[in-house]
Amino acid sequence: METLHHIVVVGGGAGGLELVTRLGNKLGKKKKARITLVDSGLTHVWKPLLHEVASGSLDASANEINYRAHARKHHYEFQLGRMGGLDRDKRQIVIDAFHDEEGQEVVPARHITYDTLVIAVGSTANDFGTPGAQEHCLFLDSLRQARRFHNLMLNAFLRKNHEAQEGRPHTLPITIIGAGATGVELAAELRLASRELPVYGMNHLRPEDVSITIIEAADRILPALPTRLSKGATRELERLNVKVLTGDPVREIRPQSLVIDGTEIPSEMTIWAAGIKAPAFLAELDGLETNRGNQLVVKQTLQTTNDVNIFALGDCAACPQPDSDRPVPPRAQAAHQQADALFETLVNRLQGKDAVAFVYNDHGSLINFSRYTTVGNLMGNLSGRSMYIEGKVARLFYISLYRMHQVALHGLLRTGVIWLMDRISRAMHPRLKLH
């Protein structure tokens, strides 16, 4: 019996999950290839939504995708575990043993043999070696971290509400380090939480008792985006009573404060959102080329430079572009486009055809200020010029990004059903998750 070509995708984030879904529907269903997804978690939540999970405006359990159930519907296999090594000669990856919260081994370490390997493990926060960051900052790299943040936030609000009830000092200073899209959107979500939670019994703590500060080392927030978008976002943050500090990096993080430009700023909750890097283990994968940020260096076809059988996509890949000295930016729309290109390449690969060169198309950027407003710029397909938008129109485009991701995973009809269920859920449940 002929052995099927085995495509292994490591990482079930936006790009990886979209890729295995399409490969499973196209190749796995017809037994033209064997498709396997490897991930260290059991469920998928779209990473751009993690700040909403953290603030409580999104219930993660209602938006999770179970990998095993999804694999069954879309004709691929799922393996639970974290990639720990690579043997390119044997074409095998090492999957570390998986342990539960009590430290008991659930699944032992094992090897998986591949014919084609795709690495899509995303990114983690880059604290740039800032003293105290690892010890005293909260991060939003994973669903687990977002849920932990949510619990800590609720407890902080409860504690301060009790202190206010007893007439004691009760201000709650919150600081976000990094004013990229995640940091800016998180600031708006936290302001919403400070205004909504008093409705649910915490009526001794006023919104103005919760001070929110966002710090950016560059001279403006959203430094990677157009200046007009940055200015519009700054106005919205100031309207929401969020203090914006730019032009100086944070020098040190302490248990209840941080130091910037020689000044100590009180901060009882400090969130790091100031940069990303690829996971460190990528730099140790059997001779694959990486850059200073641990990203795998790939060709425009998304093939790694030292192995034509290994591909990488998303935040963990440094992909060159024609007529540009910068690689593809680490954004959700880039991962989506790369998954599309790599799907074509892998289908071609089974037919002995050439790989597809990936060309990134920037469709613009959207920044969502919770339920208050949305601002952004859209790139014109014909003129190539950007158009600034805000308000309800921008909000509609923002929502459509997540719906497009759902369509890629579930199809149009099922996504329509999910949208209807979301509307019903919002009507029946509190506007914030309270536990």
HSE (CB half, 13 Å, CA atoms) of 119? 34
Q: Tell me how far apart the alpha carbons of residues 215 and 95 are, in angstroms, rounded to a whole number.
A: 39
- Residue ranges matching CATH 3.50.50.60 in the chain: 6-123+278-350, 133-276
Question: CA–CA separation, 89 vs 286, rounded Å?
Answer: 9
Q: Is 356 left (phi over 0), alpha (psi -120 to 50) or beta?
A: beta
Q: Chain centroid to CA 154: how far?
A: 22
Class of residue 152 by CB neighbours under 10 A (exposed 0-12, middle 13-18, buried 19+):
middle
**Model pLDDT for residues 160-191, shown as the tens digit of each residue:** 999 998 989 899 999 999 999 999 999 999 99
Q: Worst-scoring range by mean pLDDT, 191-205, 239-253, 306-320?
A: 191-205
pLDDT at 96: 94
Residues 103-132: pLDDT tens digits?
A: 898 888 999 999 999 999 999 999 999 999
Residue 280: is its pLDDT beyond 60? yes
pLDDT of 383 higher than 60:
no
Nearest by Cα to 229 from 57, 387, 62 = 387
* Mean pLDDT score of the chain: 90
Please say if the pLDDT value at position 1 is more than 50: no
Question: Which residue bears the tokens 């099927």?
Answer: 4
Q: Is the pLDDT of residue 200 over 80?
A: no
Rg (Cα) of the chain, in Å, rounded?
22
Asked whether the beta carbons of 57 and 50 are under 8 A apart, the reply is no
Span 10-43, pLDDT tens digits: 999 999 999 999 999 999 999 999 999 999 999 9
Q: Do residues 137 and 143 make contact, with C-beta atoms less than 8 angstroms apart?
A: no
* CA pair distance 81, 109, nearest whole angstrom: 8
**Alpha-carbon distances of 300 from 297, 313, 318, 329, 364, rounded to whole Å:** 10, 11, 9, 14, 21
Q: Using CB atoms within 10 A of its CB, is residue 313 exposed (0-12), middle (13-18) or buried (19+)? A: buried
Q: How would you classify the pairing of strands 83-87 and 65-66?
A: unpaired
For residue 243, CA distances in Å to 210, 219, 235 come to 11, 15, 11
Q: Note the pLDDT tens digit of each residue in 41-75.
A: 999 999 988 999 998 888 888 789 999 999 999 99
Which pLDDT belongs to residue 250?
A: 95
Dist CA 427 CA 415 (whole Å):
19
Q: What angle do CA 349, 351, 355 make, to 5 degrees?
A: 35
Tell me 139's DSSP state.
Answer: -
The pLDDT score that the predictor gives to residue 393 is 83
Complete DSSP assignment for 343-398: HHHHHHHHTTPPPPPP-----EEEEEETTTEEEEEEE-TTT--EEEEETHHHHHHH
Domain 6-123+278-350 has CATH 3.90.25.10: no
DSSP string, 36-67: EEEESSSEE--GGGHHHHHHTSS-HHHH-EEH
Alpha-carbon distances of 106 from 80, 112, 302, rounded to whole Å: 10, 17, 34
Q: Are 93 and 10 in contact (CB under 8 A)?
A: yes
* Predicted local confidence at residue 431, as pLDDT: 67
**pLDDT over threshold 50, residue 360:** yes
pLDDT of 264 = 94
Asked whether the predicted pLDDT for residue 435 surpasses 60, the reply is: yes
Q: What's the CA gap between 304 and 290, in Å, rounded? A: 9
pLDDT surpasses 70 at 90: yes
Question: Does CATH place domain 133-276 in 3.50.50.60?
Answer: yes
| Phi-psi category of residue 148: left, alpha or beta, with phi > 0 → left and psi -120 to 50 → alpha | alpha
pLDDT for residue 7 is more than 50: yes
Counting Cβ atoms within 10 Å, is residue 295 exposed (0-12), middle (13-18) or buried (19+)?
buried
Is residue 384 pLDDT above 70, yes or no?
A: no
Distance CA 203, CA 229 (A): 35
